A and B are shown apart, each in its own frame.
Chain A
């Protein structure tokens, strides 16, 4: 079984500042890793995913994440946030042979202030 821990439930940050949202996972098998964003009253949208290859993954809206196998982490970063990035962000994992069968973390609410 897999589990995901998002260490910060809320992250307040000023507009144009950099941000990092932390995600750690545990699994006894190889995993695929995902970040999803949820805007108010909308469905989850995929930001980026790591399947294999380069450990630095670039996604939509200027976000990127780095897979660190030794630290079992997949932190999400953006060098300069906008007010429109205010949303809930979820890290998720799936076992290597389970594709889209996702286990989600508890979420981090990113609050961008002017």
Chain B
């Protein structure tokens, strides 16, 4: 596709439900990042994939958060037993080279806005 695509655009969940958020990066992009952006805040790093390998998951806030990218393209961020504090916009970004290559542009999706009631 032309850019990074995220779905759904909006997700409303009842507290305790599990949710799955999808990211379709730009075709062929090696790096994929997930960020969490709470209302009125800047994005905060969650996790990073280089192809199918999850090289950094230090930003995942709890063991209820799980991300995967099994074939090195599409990625899914899963949140189990959602809590109200999980309400945020979840952003996905991709780049054509590994994370250490700063000369490569990072492309962001429009995000999934998760509201936990």
Contact = CB atoms under 8 A, between A and B. Distances in A.
- Please classify how large the interface on chain B is, using the bins under 10, 10 to 19, 20 to 34, 35 or more: 20 to 34
A41 B10 CA distance: 11
Contacts, number: 69
B18 interface: no
Name which of A6, A9, A43, A90 has the most chain B CB atoms within 10 A of its CB. Answer: A43
A94 interface: yes
Interface stretch (A14-22, A65-73, A76-84, A100-108): A100-108
A43 B99 contact: no
Given A44-B91, A97-B100, A102 B109 contact: no
- Please classify how large the interface on chain A is, using the bins under 10, 10 to 19, 20 to 34, 35 or more: 20 to 34
B101 A100 contact: yes
A94 B107 contact: no
A104 B44 contact: yes
Contacts of B56: 101
Contacts of A98: 99-100
B102 A49 contact: yes
Nearest to A94: B102
B42 A43 contact: no
Contacts of B4: 43
Chain A binding surface SS class: loop
Name which of A97, A100, A106 has the most chain B CB atoms within 10 A of its CB. Answer: A100
A44 B43 contact: yes
B98 interface: yes
A90 B43 CA distance: 9
A42 B102 contact: no
Interface in A47-103: 49, 51, 90, 92, 94, 97-103
Interface of A: 4, 6, 9, 32, 36, 41-46, 49, 51, 90, 92, 94, 97-107
Given A98-B99, A100-B33, A104-B42, 16 more contacts: A4-B42, A42-B110, A43-B3, A43-B108, A44-B91, A46-B106, A51-B103, A99-B99, A100-B31, A100-B93, A100-B99, A101-B33, A101-B48, A104-B44, A106-B40, A107-B40
Interface of B: 3-4, 31, 33, 35, 40-45, 48, 56, 91, 93, 95, 98-111
